[in-house]
């Protein structure tokens, strides 16, 4: 699932203001919940989200236990949408920590095949310059900004997933509008492949705009996507209820192949309704490959302070008949 932050991506610093964004995944809500705890001063807080929804993609096939396509077509699937997320936060003085997990139904919505994944389990210490943390699982530093310029609902574009990592040491902070973070991890992949690496970013933000530059380096060729380096620059400009974002990300594999991702998106807020659209193009890694190109249009509506609904539609414009021309995403979520 895509990582995207409609509000300005903020670090874990006391006094930071976080907007309530219905367009968030579990990692982003975990980040927000710990900031809320810092601001409130409570020692413990428990929260989460229950969601129902999924995807429609004509031409998609079910996966077997090894992740390979079967001969059974599946137009509707869960994709990790239907389920619930749980966050448990702690703070006393300058010491803080978090445990967060996702419980998701299987793609075919069978509860017997549901899975639980720990996405955050860490402890940290807050200083005047930021938060230093050590954990079994946590967002990497780059996750704070890799999707910061993506204002869309679900099918937008950001740099290759730079989110949950294991065995992670991180420092993240913000001072007078300047943002900075660095993290080192001992396991880049959730399957415990043991890939080590580091990433980080620097940026600046105020009420009118934000701009970010990030870098990631993986030191072993044993990841699912074989990516060695990621370099990105992105930004967002705000004009009252209207915002526009742009992102450029360069990916390089261990074998020297590279791919440039360029994307732009717009968002507009009308009271409880949020509208968004995006365009993205990612080059193929090989000269005879097919570039990925698509547009998407979506909306979210905040029914109550806790109940929201989201939809997004993606139109594939790639020169490849094997790609789906249309994909759809829908979700109804309740925060507690």
pLDDT at 4: 30
What does the alpha-carbon distance between residue 139 and residue 163 come to, in Å, rounded to a whole number? 5
Q: What is the DSSP string of 155-223?
A: S---SS---EEEEEEEEEEEETTEEEEEEEEEE-STT-----EEEEEEEEE-SSEEEEEEEEEE-SS-S
Predicted pLDDT of residue 227: 85
pLDDT for res 68? 62
User: Would you give the end-to-end CA distance of the chain in angstroms?
Assistant: 22
Angle at 213 between CA 194 and CA 229, to 5 degrees: 35
Tell me the C-alpha distance between 215 and 20, whole Å: 28
Q: Looking at residue 163, what is its pLDDT?
A: 62
Question: Could you give the domains of the chain?
Answer: 1-335 (2.40.160.10)
Query: Exposed/middle/buried for 271, CB within 10 Å: 0-12, 13-18, 19+?
Result: exposed
**Which pLDDT score is estimated for 22?**
46
Note the pLDDT of residue 14. Answer: 26
Model pLDDT, residue 196 = 85
Smallest CA-to-CA distance from 11 within 137, 153, 178 is with: 178
Closest listed residue to residue 4, CA positions, set 304, 329, 292: 329
Cα separation, 83 vs 58, in Å, equals 23
Q: How far apart are CA 25 and CA 8, in angstroms?
A: 15
For residue 202, give Cα distances in angstroms to 141, 173, 224, 334: 10, 10, 27, 34
CA atoms of 133 and 149, how far apart (whole Å): 26
> What is the three-class DSSP state of 232?
strand
Where are the alpha helices (H) located in the chain, listed in sequence order? 26-40
**pLDDT tens per residue across all 336 residues of the chain:** 333 322 322 222 222 222 334 455 555 666 566 666 655 656 888 888 999 999 998 766 566 555 566 656 668 899 889 999 998 988 888 999 999 999 999 888 887 778 888 888 999 999 999 999 999 988 899 988 988 899 999 998 888 766 668 889 999 999 999 999 999 988 766 555 667 889 999 999 999 999 999 999 988 766 666 888 999 999 999 999 999 999 999 999 888 889 999 999 999 999 999 999 999 999 988 878 888 899 999 999 999 989 999 999 999 988 765 655 889 999 999 988
């Amino acid at each position: 699932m895509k990582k995207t932050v409609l509000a300005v991506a903020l670090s874990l610093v006391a006094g930071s203001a976080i907007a309530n964004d219905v367009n968030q995944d579990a990692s982003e809500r975990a980040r927000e919940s710990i900031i809320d705890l810092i601001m409130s001063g409570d020692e413990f807080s428990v929260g989460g989200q229950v969601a129902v929804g999924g995807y429609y993609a004509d031409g998609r096939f079910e996966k077997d236990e090894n992740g390979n396509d079967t001969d059974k077509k599946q137009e509707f699937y869960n994709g990790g949408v239907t389920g619930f997320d749980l966050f448990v936060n702690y703070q006393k003085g300058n010491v803080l920590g978090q445990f967060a997990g996702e419980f998701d139904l299987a793609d075919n919505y069978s509860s017997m095949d549901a899975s639980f994944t720990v996405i955050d389990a860490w402890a940290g210490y807050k200083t005047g310059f930021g938060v230093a943390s050590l954990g079994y699982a946590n967002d990497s530093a780059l996750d704070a900004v890799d999707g910061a310029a993506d204002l869309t609902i679900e099918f937008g574009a950001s740099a290759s997933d730079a989110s949950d990592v294991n065995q992670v040491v991180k420092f993240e902070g913000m001072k007078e509008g300047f943002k900075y973070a660095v993290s080192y991890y001992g396991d880049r992949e959730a399957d415990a492949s043991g890939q080590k690496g580091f990433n980080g970013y620097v940026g600046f933000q105020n009420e009118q705009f934000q701009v970010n530059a990030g870098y990631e380096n993986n030191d072993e060729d044993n990841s699912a996507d074989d990516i060695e380096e990621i370099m990105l620059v992105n930004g967002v400009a705000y004009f009252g209820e209207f915002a526009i974002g742009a992102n450029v990300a360069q990916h390089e594999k261990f074998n020297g192949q590279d791919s440039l991702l360029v994307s732009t998106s717009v968002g507009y807020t009308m009271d409880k309704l949020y509208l968004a659209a995006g365009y993205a193009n990612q080059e193929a890694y090989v000269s005879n490959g097919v570039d990925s190109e698509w547009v998407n249009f979506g909306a979210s509506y905040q029914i109550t302070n806790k109940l929201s609904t989201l939809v997004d539609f993606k139109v594939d414009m790639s020169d490849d008949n094997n790609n789906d021309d249309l994909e759809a995403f829908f979700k109804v979520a309740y925060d507690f």
